[in-house]
Chains A and B, each alone.
Chain A
């Protein structure tokens, strides 16, 4: 029986691996991420960060092993309800405005929200002036902000974000960090895959991947990250 002081793991990876024919994208990985933890997932290009996130989101199929989200197999509807995944390339409908996107995504997840709730969230990510525009035609940074709003408008236990700072301006980055901090404060588990070594200073746990293998799991400094995974 788990101790009441130890939070339940939200994500459990057990020998989870991914290979494309003879190319191994992710070596067998054992990992647990508990509620209320913020984790930085670092590594160079091709180290397996995005592969791991997409496996957990159910967008890729495991070659071996298993991943559970809130006790449900990755990709199942219960797991999808518990995990909010923000991919590195924002995925947005061509024919809906920012506000309409929020209303649709929130409603699909059974959220009861008012127009004011959406306006507040839109304001936080700095899109108030563009709320009725089509985000599919925005610049990369603005699409990223829309994607962030869509990721947090719905309920979740675990938020996984892939390269969220790419394309964001300084106010956008600060807004995102503020949102992540607030969610962390509310006991949500957060995993951020990033190339930005400075982010590890803000989290208590850093998982470093190199060529599909975990080479570090614990507290780290930006200097550690550079040493572990290179510049």
Chain B
């Protein structure tokens, strides 16, 4: 994976930089593999030395802070700068770029030598969860993958909410309030992840504005991943159907009422992304263009997440099991690609604005052209959320009628 992604990134870089394509692809692939080696090696060493979560997080924060300080010129050199040297080898060869490669090898060797000291209890827990996670991934059940990954990472709701909304009795908008209460128990790791994803979206918007079109895919996927966290209160209902179905309300009505709080979260994520995109500096996106992108980003990421969470996972005993392999393959490909595609659509306004800007027309107006499409798609998704159960019942009755015919 590191090899392929690094190679693709190198190929993209070759189109804008001097130097041969082969050099850039080679350097990108090496950097990708090195990055994977560093991550896996660090994880093995942390597990082998039984490093506490807080110390591991603190080391990570120091490294990130160090890199940022180096990036803004506050200090002279950071460990991550040598990784930059490796990536930029096609431009200028610095022997220091070998440091991360050697570091990755050293970490992997050290990690392997420490394997015997890994906690058996933790290893057993992880292996059980990883087995379930692989099975869920095989069935394209993204929600189960997310839940299992959170268990692996011990990412649990906070015992004490960030702000306590006191229970004074029953009140209006119970589903909305329930969603807020759920959000207020988000663990710090989830909040930080959403901020990082918002930052990634913002940086991608800057890249799109400066002409790197493929970044619209990265922005869309980051927005989609953020959406999967934003719909957590709704996903809780999906995870506990018997609790939800005990209420004298249709499940679809409850699902629909969860959307506003998820949208609020996505707008906050989009707001951070817009702030990052329009912050002063290289490739700054004009504020009016960035603001045009705010609502589509939120709707796209949320729409994709809604489809992903509510779509029934593939069933090995379902009607599709009788379809030809080609048809099954197309169905699986569609199910996998459709939710992130909606999020990618939501990330396109800056692309349209950039094209309009290149053609000498008003950029913000150019970006706004795609907004109604995103709004309509989101509206259709909300309609689907409301009637999908009815469609399922109708489809099942049609199938039963068809099967009953002699």
Contact = CB atoms under 8 A, between A and B. Distances in A.
Which residue, B178, B185, B232, has most C-beta atoms of chain A within 10 A?
B178
Interface in B237-286: 239-240, 242-243, 245-250, 254
Contacts of A57: 242, 246
Given A108-B174, A115-B169, A95 B232 contact: yes
A77 B242 contact: no
B246 A85 contact: yes
A80 B245 CA distance: 8
Interface string A43-85: 0000000000000011100000000000000000110110011
Q: Is the interface of B mostly helix, strand, loop or mixed?
A: loop
Contacts of B349: none
Interface residues of A, number: 38
Given A80-B248, A104-B178, A108-B247, A95 B157 contact: yes
A111 interface: yes
B236 A95 contact: yes
A75 B9 CA distance: 53
A229 interface: no
A102 B240 CA distance: 16
Given A77-B250, A91-B240, A96-B182, A103 B167 contact: yes
Given A91-B240, A93-B236, A93-B243, A77 B249 contact: yes
A5 to B, nearest CB: 30
Nearest to B173: A107
Contact of A103 (B169, B240, B242): B169
B243 A59 contact: no
A133 interface: yes
A100 B179 CA distance: 11
A80 B247 contact: yes
B18 interface: no
B168 interface: yes
Contacts of A39: none
A96 B170 contact: no
Interface in B308-351: none
Nearest to A76: B248
B248 A107 contact: no
B171 interface: yes
Given A92-B240, A133-B159, A99 B245 contact: no
Contacts of A22: none
Nearest to A114: B169
Interface string B146-175: 000000000011010000101111110011
A91 B243 contact: yes
A169 interface: no
Interface of B: 156-157, 159, 164, 166-171, 174-175, 177-178, 181-182, 185, 232-233, 236, 239-240, 242-243, 245-250, 254
25 contacts: A57-B242, A77-B249, A80-B248, A87-B242, A91-B242, A93-B243, A95-B181, A95-B185, A95-B232, A95-B233, A95-B236, A96-B178, A103-B170, A103-B171, A105-B247, A107-B174, A108-B254, A111-B170, A112-B169, A112-B170, A114-B168, A115-B166, A115-B169, A132-B164, A137-B156
Given A96-B178, A103-B167, A137-B156, 10 more contacts: A59-B242, A80-B246, A94-B156, A95-B157, A95-B236, A96-B181, A99-B167, A104-B174, A109-B248, A114-B169
